[in-house]
A and B are shown apart, each in its own frame.
Chain A
């Protein structure tokens, strides 16, 4: 492996962009590793959280945005709770996801698809409607197999206990919730133009 040429490869603009967008300051991190130590998901991460913080300090934009770690973080807030430097680490991961979305860099498509399906379901039905959400997840993103398996696992147990309904409830707020999403898209487009 070649030496990482920090003179050339430190993306200072990315560091500044991140600071501005998040309001967090990566320089506060002294690399104690407490976030990694407490992270329940770290075994599944390609880079442990403290390494994401380090990559951020050194402006390694591509590595971060292409990492699985930022998508596998479940915002359990353990890192934020225990960080001795008072960095809101979960928030850092959140903002990195936002940037990755914008730049179309999503290393964990399944996770992103799930979030999108959830929100689509909220947009359509104004409340999270599980059957609808799972159907969107299956149809839109083609995760037929895993989702069908999921349905087989959960379905019977839930149905016999009256825990799943095949029809969304009636709603009053429907239109307004859909409008939130619509206005948000518009806001994002205007931001992108700027």
Chain B
């Protein structure tokens, strides 16, 4: 066996704190190593050529590259040695950059540790076996989870590209948050006017199968071949028959149902169509408020419905769809105002959230676009906007900036002046964050043309006095405490992860950050990919985002799916579990622990029961190997022997 070892300087990234020449010299002394050298940038073209040349010249059959994380360049070097005629699994990488050079400043200690890491990699590579990928067919259908603007964009782009799309939306209609907005910044164009056509397209596109009021129950499978169980929640209205005429809603006597679409600004009926432009335009009963469900008698809607669509006995239904890729576009949520007790939580009706104010501004909202104080329905003259209501607040676990609030507050201040010309808006802000195209000019316009008073400082307390809400804050530029007697206070509540984001991530096997936002594969270079191949991200589920960014990501995710589906076959990773049927005792503990359901029971011709791995489903996580009591199931490329050889390599040092 002839091992070649290449120690990378990575400029000064590694060489700055590791004596790379010494590491190479020490590697040379290890039995089996035929060649060892150090090189400035091993990943560069000349660096790769050097490896290829050395393989030929020195007749090498195994290669170790000590450089950065294998997540960066393992693929690069695998291809390199493959071109030189070696099996790509005869490569091992020692991560001496992230694991060593970047975390310690003591060059002596770092060098020692690097030598250890390299000798481990040498020990392992000598145990490596040639592995060969198999290929399998891709199911060219795509699942999009979430029907907000990002999800709709992804669905439409995929569908227009000829793919069959399954779009699952948990609320009764698509549109997401954008469908609730009045106007959009910085152009003040009507939100539903520009979103409406997209919603209609989604509803009518022959390539899009829309499941509204449905949730993902279970996801099985792997890139190219997923089986999705979808729960169609009971609406108690047969949507095949419902024409969306709205008679039921008109006659329903339960008038105090919580209106999710309008964020509770005003109540709605127990049977309702969420908004006039809803897609699908179908009615749905809220059993928490419906008299038929609560008291067992009423039945008004059933009597009035001209098509007999009402069905109080309806149950949730589970359907299965098969797809080859998934776009996650589950959006974001808003901080519960009740947490902000210094602002009264939700105790004071005239302290509302930005999204609620949006509904008050909206012509199809509960007040038909007339701005009213929720307490007494009078027109407010002094309106105070509070930025960062929960955002950038470590003390409540939201240290990040919600990103779009500065802009929508400026928009709301402008619209307020349009609606009520003799009104005065005040905006409390810490920093105005408006880096988009035309954005900063927009916030200036709110002040220069629309006369909004911007006050630099946070608000400390909001309390009622008489009919007014007293907003007590600071003007740090004046260096003083200030008070405003407001008629209405609008809080820009922080953007947080969508409800159930963590559970969804578990189902998808993707990672999420401390705040519940999904983690992209690389923060710069793989912004819509996840670490689970076949699963892509779009929109605010990855972090707070405004409309243009969400749309951009929706299209980007669609492009990724289209490029993935441009192939007919995919190669499977051969680094998966394999059962040695001689050693297997058939206890099937592995079957129970496998998180991917990749193991099944099999009976040999001899009648012996053993475990069997479904190659295409196995994700190579290795849980089964640590469960197996007799070492019969082994993860290829990470077998017990291979790992133990690494351990004994450092134990010998």
Task: State the A residues within 8 Å of B (CB).
Answer: 30-39, 42-43, 47-48, 50-51, 78, 82-86
Q: How far is the CB of A58 from chain B (nearest CB, A)?
A: 15
Chain A's closest residue to B477 (CB) is A33
Give 10 A-B pairs besides A37-B472, A84-B458, A86-B395 with Cβ atoms closer than 8 angstroms: A32-B392, A32-B457, A32-B476, A33-B457, A36-B480, A38-B472, A42-B481, A47-B479, A48-B479, A51-B479
* B480 cross-chain contacts in A, Cβ below 8 A: 36, 42, 48
**Is B461 among interface residues, defined by CB-CB distance under 8 A?**
yes
**Is B459 among interface residues, defined by CB-CB distance under 8 A?**
yes
- Can you give 25 A-B contacts (C-beta < 8 A)? A30-B430, A32-B430, A32-B457, A32-B458, A32-B476, A34-B460, A37-B457, A37-B458, A37-B460, A37-B472, A37-B473, A37-B481, A38-B342, A38-B460, A42-B480, A42-B481, A43-B481, A48-B479, A50-B476, A51-B479, A78-B460, A82-B342, A84-B393, A84-B394, A84-B395
Q: Which of A31, A36, A39 has the most CB of B within 10 A?
A: A36
Chain A's closest residue to B473 (CB) is A37
**Is B560 among interface residues, defined by CB-CB distance under 8 A?**
no
Cα–Cα, bound, A30→B394 (Å): 12
Chain A's closest residue to B430 (CB) is A32
Cα–Cα, bound, A43→B479 (Å): 11
**Is B546 among interface residues, defined by CB-CB distance under 8 A?**
no
* B472 cross-chain contacts in A, Cβ below 8 A: 37-38
Q: Are A39 and B395 in contact (CB under 8 A)?
A: no
**Is B632 among interface residues, defined by CB-CB distance under 8 A?**
no
**Is B456 among interface residues, defined by CB-CB distance under 8 A?**
yes
Proximity bits, B358-402, A CB within 8 Å = 1, else 0:
000000000000000000000000000000100011111000000
* B482 cross-chain contacts in A, Cβ below 8 A: 37
Cα–Cα, bound, A78→B392 (Å): 19
Chain B residues touching A, majority SS = strand
Chain A's closest residue to B482 (CB) is A37
Cα–Cα, bound, A3→B554 (Å): 51
Cα–Cα, bound, A31→B392 (Å): 12
Q: How many residues of B contact A (CB 8 A)?
A: 23
Q: Are B395 and A36 in contact (CB under 8 A)?
A: no
Give the residue of B388, B392, B459 whose beta carbon is less than 8 angstroms from that of A37: B459
Tell whether A36 pairs with B474 under 8 Å between CB atoms, given A30-B430, A48-B480, A84-B458: yes
Q: Are A48 and B474 in contact (CB under 8 A)?
A: yes
* B479 cross-chain contacts in A, Cβ below 8 A: 36, 47-48, 51
* B393 cross-chain contacts in A, Cβ below 8 A: 84
**Is B116 among interface residues, defined by CB-CB distance under 8 A?**
no
- Among all A-B residue pairs, the 3 with the closest Cβ atoms: A33-B474, A37-B460, A38-B460
Q: How far is the CB of A153 from chain B (nearest CB, A)?
A: 29
**Is B520 among interface residues, defined by CB-CB distance under 8 A?**
no
**Is B475 among interface residues, defined by CB-CB distance under 8 A?**
yes
Q: Are B395 and A83 in contact (CB under 8 A)?
A: yes
* B458 cross-chain contacts in A, Cβ below 8 A: 32-34, 37, 84
Cα–Cα, bound, A68→B430 (Å): 27
Q: Are B475 and A33 in contact (CB under 8 A)?
A: yes
Q: How far is the CB of B393 from chain A (nearest CB, A)?
A: 4
* A85 cross-chain contacts in B, Cβ below 8 A: 394-395
Q: How far is the CB of A15 from chain B (nearest CB, A)?
A: 21
Q: How far is the CB of A84 from chain B (nearest CB, A)?
A: 4
Q: How far is the CB of A68 from chain B (nearest CB, A)?
A: 15
Cα–Cα, bound, A36→B456 (Å): 12
Proximity bits, B461-478, A CB within 8 Å = 1, else 0:
100000000001111100
Q: How far is the CB of B338 from chain A (nearest CB, A)?
A: 16
* B430 cross-chain contacts in A, Cβ below 8 A: 30-32
Q: Are B392 and A34 in contact (CB under 8 A)?
A: no
* B457 cross-chain contacts in A, Cβ below 8 A: 32-34, 36-37
Q: Are B476 and A36 in contact (CB under 8 A)?
A: yes
Q: How far is the CB of A70 from chain B (nearest CB, A)?
A: 16
Give the residue of A31, A43, A82 whose beta carbon is less than 8 angstroms from that of B460: A82
Tell whether A34 pairs with B395 under 8 Å between CB atoms, given A42-B481, A82-B342: no
Q: How far is the CB of B343 from chain A (nearest CB, A)?
A: 11
Cα–Cα, bound, A78→B479 (Å): 18
Q: How far is the CB of B329 from chain A (nearest CB, A)?
A: 31
Q: Are A84 and B460 in contact (CB under 8 A)?
A: no
Q: How far is the CB of B453 from chain A (nearest CB, A)?
A: 16
Give the residue of B388, B392, B459, B474 whose beta carbon is less than 8 angstroms from that of A50: B474
Cα–Cα, bound, A37→B455 (Å): 12
Q: Which of A35, A42, A82, A83 has the most CB of B within 10 A?
A: A82
* A84 cross-chain contacts in B, Cβ below 8 A: 388, 392-396, 458
Chain B's closest residue to A50 (CB) is B476
* A48 cross-chain contacts in B, Cβ below 8 A: 474, 479-481
Cα–Cα, bound, A41→B45 (Å): 68
Q: How far is the CB of A33 from chain B (nearest CB, A)?
A: 3
Q: How far is the CB of A61 from chain B (nearest CB, A)?
A: 20
* B388 cross-chain contacts in A, Cβ below 8 A: 32, 84
Give the residue of B342, B392, B476 whose beta carbon is less than 8 angstroms from that of A33: B476
Tell whether A86 pairs with B394 under 8 Å between CB atoms, given A34-B458, A36-B457: yes
* A43 cross-chain contacts in B, Cβ below 8 A: 481
Proximity bits, B388-422, A CB within 8 Å = 1, else 0:
10001111100000000000000000000000000
Chain A's closest residue to B459 (CB) is A37
Cα–Cα, bound, A36→B461 (Å): 11
